[in-house]
């Protein structure tokens, strides 16, 4: 298992290009199952999770052509079986979202239930309630969701009990081929949902309200092929901005989308960063200063994202002053705290509390660390960058799931980071 060896203490400085969004690309790949014509997806990041999705579609018989620029052309009409096996769904929850598109297009699907997850239980009840309301016949057997529908799914009125990104995406995709109108309320508003809707509209879907909490889909009989470019990854963008701010450095990020990161940029400005933005770039300069600690509460978009909570905690560890960080989206997303405290951080978390109290210290101390979630793992890389001496981050296959060439990108900014093959 590869590890990252980080020697801390460098102020990061330089320019980087941001990759396509993992969480957009994954779901857009599943949406290609709605069409008989080829769907070409561009700006797909080279990540382990994307490989897993390609493997899943491949094992269902879907043919794909990937060119040298990693544009992926998906021919879903070659599908031979409508089953997504446990082995693939358990490694990546996004695989579960092949259920709705297969059901809407082919009237049948068998998809393994995803099971537990390091950051919380992450149920799929909202997905299943929505599909049932649209007329699907769903039952569980041997750990699989077995779903079928006679004829087409039917448009329905769906009110989500919780704001769910995956649930909103799943029902929106399924509704595109349903008979009649689906009105979805209390929808999540994340940019990846808007990106998916834009792709579906290019395929001929009739969707309105994406990016607001009410989405209306008028079902159509079929969807055609299209070519779609995935939006920039806002979590990768935020991760690099926070890493640079933590080290007191400077960076210009190109191919980024600043309007997707408003809450994050405001917090970084509070931390003392000078930030300027263009349409597709963001420049951050800490002018060699230490950041000030910033308090925050994670919530669905447009509020501060849970996917950047661990990273900003790493910054707060060495910031001036103290702050509170409250996680409201996932139940168990504080596993980095213990590892950061082993590096000399002062973070307190009461049992069963959703709020961590961070008191900034002068410097962290390098240590061997590890985590079993993507964002927690990358936060330990940031902690290593602001630590004295060497930090070895173990289990970096989590980081490879969601960050393209992390060590090369950090090296471009001057970081002393090496991948050690075990
Ligand atoms: N929830 C339910 N029932 C459901 C669905 C969700 O109770 O049927 C709850 C979850 O347990 C959670 C909350 O609703 O407490 C929000 O979950 P959501 O469904 O929004 O999350 P998701 O769609 O499973 C996506 C991202 C996550 C990101 C979250 C929140 C993808 C592939 N994943 O997950 O990304 O943290 O939205 O923004 O889009 C990551 O990239 O590291 C990552 C975990």
| Å from CA of 352 to ligand 1 middle | 20
Alpha-carbon span 352 to 128, nearest angstrom: 29
Q: Which residue has the tokens 């079993």?
A: 372
| Å from CA of 165 to ligand 1 middle | 6
CA of 97, closest atom in ligand 1: 32
Contact 164, 126 (CB under 8 A): yes
What are the pLDDT digits (tens) for 141-181? 999 999 999 999 999 999 999 999 999 999 999 999 999 99
Q: Is the CB of 195 under 6 A from ligand 1?
A: no
Give the residue among 60, 57, 55, 27 at the shortest CA–CA distance from 41.
27
Q: Is the CB of 374 under 6 A from ligand 1?
A: yes
Please give the angle made by the CA atoms of 29, 30 and 32, to the nearest 5 degrees. 70
Is pLDDT of 422 > 90?
Answer: no
Place 338 in a pLDDT band, splitting at 50, 70 and 90. very high
- Per-residue model confidence (pLDDT) at position 24: 98
Is pLDDT of 114 > 90?
Answer: no
Is pLDDT of 351 > 90?
Answer: no
What are the pLDDT digits (tens) for 28-46? 999 999 999 999 999 999 9
User: Ligand 1: which residue has its CA nearest to atom 7?
Assistant: 123
Pairing verdict, β 13-17 and 250-254: parallel
List the catalytic residue out of 42, 59, 117, 277: 117
Q: Is the pTM of this model over 0.85?
A: yes
Alpha-carbon span 4 to 370, nearest angstrom: 10
| Å from CA of 127 to ligand 1 middle | 11
DSSP class of 77: G
Segment 311-319 shows an average pLDDT of 98
Straight-line distance from the first to the last Cα atom of the chain, in angstroms, rounded to the nearest whole number: 5
- Per-residue model confidence (pLDDT) at position 332: 86
Whether 117 is a known active-site residue: answer yes
Question: Ligand 1 pocket: which of 160, 162, 301, 373 to mutate (most atoms <8 Å of CB)?
Answer: 162
- Per-residue model confidence (pLDDT) at position 116: 66
Q: Is the CB of 126 under 6 A from ligand 1?
A: yes
Please give the angle made by the CA atoms of 348, 350 and 356, to the nearest 5 degrees. 45
| Å from CA of 159 to ligand 1 middle | 17
Segment 6-18 shows an average pLDDT of 97
| Å from CA of 122 to ligand 1 middle | 7
- The whole-chain average pLDDT of the chain stands at 96
DSSP letters spanning 97-145: GGHHHHHHHHSEEEEE-----TT-----HHHHHHHHHTT-EEEEETTEE
Is pLDDT of 280 > 70?
Answer: yes
Is pLDDT of 121 > 80?
Answer: no
Q: Is the CB of 9 under 6 A from ligand 1?
A: no
């Amino acid at each position: 298992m590869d590890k990252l060896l980080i020697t801390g203490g460098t102020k990061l400085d330089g320019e980087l290009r941001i990759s396509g969004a993992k969480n957009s690309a994954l779901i857009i790949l599943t949406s290609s199952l709605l069409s008989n014509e080829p769907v070409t997806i561009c700006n797909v990041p080279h990540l382990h999770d994307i490989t897993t999705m390609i493997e899943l579609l491949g094992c269902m018989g879907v043919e794909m052509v990937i060119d040298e620029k990693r544009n992926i052309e998906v021919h879903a009409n070659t599908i031979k079986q409508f089953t997504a096996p446990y082995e693939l769904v358990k490694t990546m929850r996004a695989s579960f979202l092949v259920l709705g598109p297969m059901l809407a297009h082919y009237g049948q699907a068998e998809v393994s239930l995803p099971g537990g997850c390091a950051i919380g239980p992450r149920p799929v009840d909202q997905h299943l309630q929505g599909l049932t309301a649209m007329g699907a016949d769903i039952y569980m057997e041997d750990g699989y969701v077995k779903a079928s529908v006679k004829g087409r799914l039917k448009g329905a009125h769906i009110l989500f009990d919780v704001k769910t990104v995956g649930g909103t995406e799943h029902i929106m995709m399924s509704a595109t081929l349903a008979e009649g109108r689906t009105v979805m309320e209390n929808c999540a508003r994340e940019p990846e949902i808007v990106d998916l809707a834009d792709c579906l509209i290019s395929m001929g879907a009739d969707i309105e309200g994406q990016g607001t909490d009410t989405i209306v889909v008028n079902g159509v009989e079929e969807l055609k092929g299209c070519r779609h470019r995935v939006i920039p990854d806002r979590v990768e963008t935020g991760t690099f901005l926070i890493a640079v701010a933590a080290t007191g450095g400077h960076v210009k990020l190109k191919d980024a989308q600043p309007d997707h990161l408003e809450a994050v940029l405001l917090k970084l400005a509070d931390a003392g960063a000078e930030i300027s933005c263009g349409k597709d770039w963001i420049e951050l300069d800490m002018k060699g200063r230490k950041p000030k600690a910033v308090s925050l509460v994670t919530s669905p978009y447009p509020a501060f994202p849970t996917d950047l909570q661990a990273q900003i905690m790493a910054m707060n560890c060495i910031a001036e002053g103290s702050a509170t960080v409250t996680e409201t989206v996932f139940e168990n997303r504080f596993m980095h705290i213990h590892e950061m405290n082993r590096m000399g951080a002062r973070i307190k978390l009461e049992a069963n509390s959703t709020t961590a109290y961070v008191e900034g210290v002068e410097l962290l101390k390098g240590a061997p660390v590890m985590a079993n979630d993507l964002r927690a793992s990358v936060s330990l890389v940031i902690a290593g960058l602001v630590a004295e001496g060497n930090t070895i981050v173990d289990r970096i296959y989590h980081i490879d799931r969601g960050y393209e060439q992390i060590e090369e990108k950090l090296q471009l900014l001057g970081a002393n980071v090496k991948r050690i093959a075990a």
